[in-house]
A and B are shown apart, each in its own frame.
Chain A
Amino acid sequence: MTAQHIIIAVSALGGIIGGMGMGGGTLLIPLLTLAAGLEQHLAQAINLIAFVPMSIVALIIHKKNGYVDVKRSAPIMIFALAGAIGGSFLAKYAGGYALRACYGAFLIVLGVVQMYKTVRAVIKSKQQSKSERAAVEKVSSVGK
């Protein structure tokens, strides 16, 4: 398997995760550095570029379904854009190793948050189904 094949394979894995709506890009970068051996800055550049065609397609679908709120996101977009340009220039001055370690710490935080949110959602849905069951039992006992 050549380097190109490995890049295609790990990108497909990142794409699968992204297609499920779970930020595939966050895992594509470490996959590109750890599995395909690319330099950290280059992996970040690739992730940024690869996101563009994917998000355009997704946006068109979401817009059609009426899920895109342009009005309330416009100011966020402008401020975020300013931050992004600053951040991109800053990345040049961070060494590949430092950037990797920072990214690792960032991923751990995201992982913990994701775990917390999932567990909370599961508990909530369990409680809901419990109360629904209780309501059903109440109705059926009234029927008797």
Chain B
Amino acid sequence: MNAKVKSTLVYGGSVAVGLVSGFFGGGGGMLCVPLLQFRGLDAKRAHATALLVILPICIASSIVYIVNGYFDGTAVLCACIGVVAGGAVGAAALDKLNGATISVIFALLMMAIGLKLVIA
């Protein structure tokens, strides 16, 4: 592929990752991983590095959301407690479960919840 075309795709993709993350308040990481792989990173590095790209995005977007009045201290605190505790459990359980099975369940869950959101 032409180098110019490739860099245009990468930068265009980067802006899209940001737009999606900011507009939907998440989900950019799932677009960022393939983009980093396209830049030549292997799967493991792409997953780890995606966090580095998403972190400043989350901080900046959080500030914009808070400035626009979308904030509830109690709810944020409850969510942080839940996410951190759940995150530790999930990371520990990862080794004990079949990757493909979880992945299929996750995919079905996303489709089902997506459908519910569109219909509701």
Residues of A within 8 A of B35 (CB): 76
Which size class do B's interface residues fall under? 35 or more
Q: A106 to B103, Cβ gap below 8 A?
A: no
Name B110's contact: one of A34, A49, A68, A114 (CB within 8 Å): A114
Asked if B64 and A88 sit within 8 Å, CB to CB, the answer is yes
Flag whether A139 is at the interface (Cβ < 8 A). Answer: no
Question: Is A107 in contact with B86, judged by CB distance below 8 angstroms?
Answer: no
Q: Which of A22, A53, A111, A117 touches B80 (beta carbons < 8 Å)?
A: A53
B14 touches A80 (CB 8 A): yes
Residues in A1-42 with C-beta less than 8 Å from chain B = 4, 7-30, 32, 34, 38-39, 41-42
Selected contact of B61 from candidates A8, A73, A87, A121, CB within 8 Å: A87
Does B78 lie within 8 Å of A56, measured CB to CB? Answer: no
Ordered by A's residue number, 15 sampled pairs between the chains whose C-beta atoms are within 8 Å are A11-B80, A19-B92, A41-B70, A44-B70, A49-B58, A56-B55, A58-B51, A59-B48, A76-B39, A88-B22, A91-B22, A101-B117, A105-B118, A111-B109, A112-B107
Known: A20-B97, A72-B49. 12 other contacts (CB 8 A): A4-B74, A7-B78, A22-B102, A51-B58, A55-B58, A62-B48, A69-B41, A84-B19, A84-B22, A91-B25, A108-B114, A118-B107
5 tightest A-B CB contacts, nearest first: A15-B86, A19-B90, A44-B25, A83-B18, A11-B82
